[in-house]
Amino acid sequence: MSLLRIEGISKWFGATQVLYDISFTFYPGQINMIIGPSGCGKTVLLKCIVGLIRPETGKVFFGEIDFLKASSEQRRSILKNLGMLFQSSALFDSMTVGENVAFPLRVFTRQPEKVIQDRVAYCLERVGLAGLQAKYPAELSGGMKRRVGLARAIALTPKYLFCDEPNSGLDPLTARRIDELIQEITQEFQTTTVVVTHDLKSMLDMGQRILFLYQGRAEWQGTRTQLFRELEALPPNLSNFLHASGLIR
Amino acid sequence: MNLLLKGFEDFGQYLLLLRRSFTGLLRFRLYWELWTHEQIHMGRDSLFLVAIISLFVGAVTTVQTAYQIVSPFIPKSTIGAIVSTSAILELAPTVTSLVLAGRIGSSIASQIGSMRVSEQIDALEVMGINSATYLILPRLFSAIVAFPLLVIYACFIVHVGGIIAGAFTGAVNPTQFAIGARSFFEGFQITFMLIKAVTFGFIISTVSAYQGYFVRGGALEVGKSSTRAVVVSCLMILVADYVLAQLLL
């Protein structure tokens, strides 16, 4: 079962503590959102989960395996099931769109080239960019890059999908399209999707489970239904954060 | 004192990165493609620059040597001997490497640095790829192959430049030049030249990769790392040049 659980994550950068004892469970087939104002530690937490930053304390369980203590074999099998959409898309500049999407397939599988190309075509079609294989990332718009990043993230049909600010810097229409794609992919592949954002519209549209961070601390966690039910009794920082958007009155 | 400590810290980090770049090798094909690409970039694309510089270095050395030999008792072939020995022992390997430190070193640092700031290195790590191995090893092996070939090529062109300048100014004719060059030639000089070329190739590729790999920030820092890569590589080449001469001659 592709349950993802974090327990007691704390992180320091030098003398500054940026995460304080954070625990949360991310459920499969749902969009789990980490929200909070800029600089609250959302991206650091995400990087701790995917292993890009090592937390000082805490555990990250992918299923039953503690990722931080996993053997290299276990680590590789977890990473094979993990797709990530970066804030900057992180497409490889020297490769074409097709090569970018094919890259994880070439690293993790020994499929024939024809099968890889078919899968690349499917993934690009899935994000609405069919036929763009030969283009280079520099030739694409910000929204297209983000969608290619998503196509690359789903190339191996991941069990876990991580999205770091997936729609920041995009126009509202493109941002909504990216949100819709994330929702569709989560439903289609039943992935455990973790989205880091400070975009409240996104959170209200698609967030099913929510973790609110404030200055490195988990101030509130629960479902979206719970959030609306407890609207009057929310912690002041979350309440201010929600009301600042003007979406909730 | 702080500068010294920083120097030790950098050197330690450089050694750790080197060690890391030899672990976690993936499929050979992935590295082969990068290696061939780098071979073209380092080798073929440097041919013209190396030829121009070597031609003029050979010409200038011949003219200046002829200018200093004023005694009629010294045979003209001595010019050929001095130019040839200097070319093999010093001019071809060291001058070529200093020039290539500017061309290749800055390119490696800026390529890897921009991958770092645009999260491409993070994307590799999330895919379970050891980014140090993937990015550094092909460049290192390319340099180790390309540098000796470029230095042999440079050495040949220095001789051509010397012969042309000697004939053009009337300082020494091609036959006298060739007699001089052959009279002091020893096989070990070529071995020494190649040892230098491999060492300098190693220094440029790894020092520049190190500078790029640990970039933090944005475009400005990438530019700074590129400059630092050239400066540090040049200094290291000069130190290594002295150490090799002291040890091997």
ipTM of this predicted structure = 0.89
Q: Judge whether A53 is closer than 8 Å to chain B, CB to CB.
A: no
Q: Which amino acid is at A59?
A: K
Q: Which residue of B has its CA nearest to A76?
A: B128
d(CA A239, CA A232): 8
Chain B contact for A232 (CB, 8 A cutoff): no
CB-nearest to B30 from A80, A93, A107 is A107
- What tokens appear for A81 in the block? 């099931």
What type of residue sits at position A26? F
One DSSP character per residue, chain B reads -HHHHHHHHHHHHHHHHHHHTTSS---HHHHHHHHHHHHHHHTGGGHHHHHHHHHHHHHHHHHHHHHH---TTS-THHHHHHHHHHIIIIIIIIIHHHHHIIIIIHHHHHHHHHHHHTTHHHHHHHTT--HHHHHHHHHHHHHHHHHHHHHHHHHHHHHHHHHHHHHHHTSS-HHHHHHHHHHT--HHHHHHHHHHHHHHHHHHHHHHHHHHHT--SSHHHHHHHHHHHHHHHHHHHHHHHHHHHHHH-
The pLDDT value recorded for residue A1 is 55
Q: Please state the domain extents for chain A.
A: 1-81+161-169+189-249
> Who's near B125: CB < 8 A, 6+ residues apart?
A51, A52, B131
* Sheet strand arrangement including A209-214: A65-66, A57-62, A4-13, A16-26, A217-223, A209-214, A31-35, A192-197, A160-164, A82-85
Tokens matching residue B103: 């061309």
Residue A106 sits at the chain B interface (C-beta within 8 Å): yes
> To which H or E segment does residue A83 belong?
strand A82-85
**pLDDT(A124) > 90:** yes
* Cross-chain residue pair A75–B125, CB shorter than 8 Å: no
**Tokens matching residue B161:** 């430049």
Q: Are A80 and B30 an interchain contact pair (Cβ–Cβ within 8 Å)?
A: no
Distance CA A210, CA A34 (A): 6
B24, B37, B120: residue with CB nearest A90:
B120
Average pLDDT over residues A47-58: 93
Rounded Cα distance between B232 and B227, Å, is 9
In chain B, what is the greatest distance between 2 CA atoms, to the nearest angstrom?
72
pLDDT of A205 reads 85
Q: DSSP character for A53?
A: S
Percentage of chain A lying above the pLDDT 70 cut: 98
Closest CA to A8 of A85, A61, A83: A61
Architecture of domain A1-81+161-169+189-249: 3-Layer(aba) Sandwich (3.40)
Rounded to the nearest 10°, the torsion over CA B112, B115, B119, B122 is -50
Contacts with A91 from chain B: Cβ below 8 Å: 120
pLDDT at position B72 is: 81
Distance from CA of B159 to the nearest CA of A (A): 38
Question: pLDDT band for position A115 (50/70/90)?
Answer: very high
Distance CA A101, CA A157 (A): 12
Whole-angstrom distance, CA of residue B97 vs CA of residue B204: 8
List C-alpha distances in Å: B172 to A15, A110, A166, B184, B215. Answer: 70, 63, 71, 17, 52
DSSP annotation of A87: T
- Residues of chain B contacting A, Cβ within 8 Å: 24, 26-27, 29-30, 37, 114-115, 118-120, 122-123, 125-129
The DSSP symbol for A159 reads S
Cβ-Cβ contacts under 8 Å for A116 (sequence gap 6 or more): A102, A105, A106, A109
The answer to whether the Cβ–Cβ distance between A52 and B128 falls below 8 Å is: no
Going from the C-alpha of B47 to that of each of B51, B151, B154, B159, B214, the distances in angstroms are 6, 10, 9, 16, 30
Each residue's pLDDT tens digit, B106-157: 999 999 999 999 999 999 999 888 899 999 999 999 999 999 999 999 999 9
Query: Inter-chain contact B30–A106, Cβ cutoff 8 Å?
Result: yes
Instruction: Flag if B126 and A88 touch (Cβ within 8 Å).
Output: no
Question: Each residue of A204-223: pLDDT tens digit?
Answer: 888 899 999 999 999 999 99
Lowest mean pLDDT among A35-49, A223-237, B112-126: A223-237
How many residues can be counted in chain B? 249
Going residue by residue through chain B, which has 249 residues, state the pLDDT in tens, using 9 for 90 and above: 788 888 899 999 999 999 999 887 777 777 888 888 888 888 889 999 999 999 999 999 999 999 998 788 888 899 999 999 999 999 999 999 999 999 999 999 999 999 999 999 999 999 888 899 999 999 999 999 999 999 999 999 999 999 999 999 988 999 999 999 999 899 999 999 999 999 999 999 999 999 999 999 888 999 999 999 999 999 999 999 999 999 998
Q: Which token pair is B206? A: 């790894």
The C-alpha of A167 sits at a distance from chain B's nearest C-alpha, in angstroms, of: 16
| Inter-chain residue contact A90 with B119, CB threshold 8 Å | yes
Judged by a CB distance cut-off of 8 A, whether residue A93 touches chain B is yes
> Which chain A positions have a beta carbon within 8 Å of B114's beta carbon?
93
pLDDT tier at A148, thresholds 50, 70, 90: very high
Q: What is the share, in percent, of chain B residues with pLDDT greater than 70?
A: 100
Contact between chains at B126 and A51 (C-beta distance less than 8 A): yes
**Quick check: A75 and B118 CB within 8 A?**
no
Do A84 and A51 contact (CB within 8 A), yes or no? no
Asked if A163 has any chain B CB less than 8 Å from its own CB, the reply is no
Task: Map out the domains of chain B as residue ranges.
Answer: 28-248
* Choice between A97 and B76, residue whose per-residue pLDDT is larger: A97
Which one, of B112, B101, B133, lies nearest residue A93 by Cα? Answer: B112
Q: Across chain A, what does the average pLDDT equal? A: 90
Please give the pLDDT value at position A167.
Answer: 85
Task: Give CA torsion, residues B30, A2, A70, B131, to 10 deg.
Answer: 30
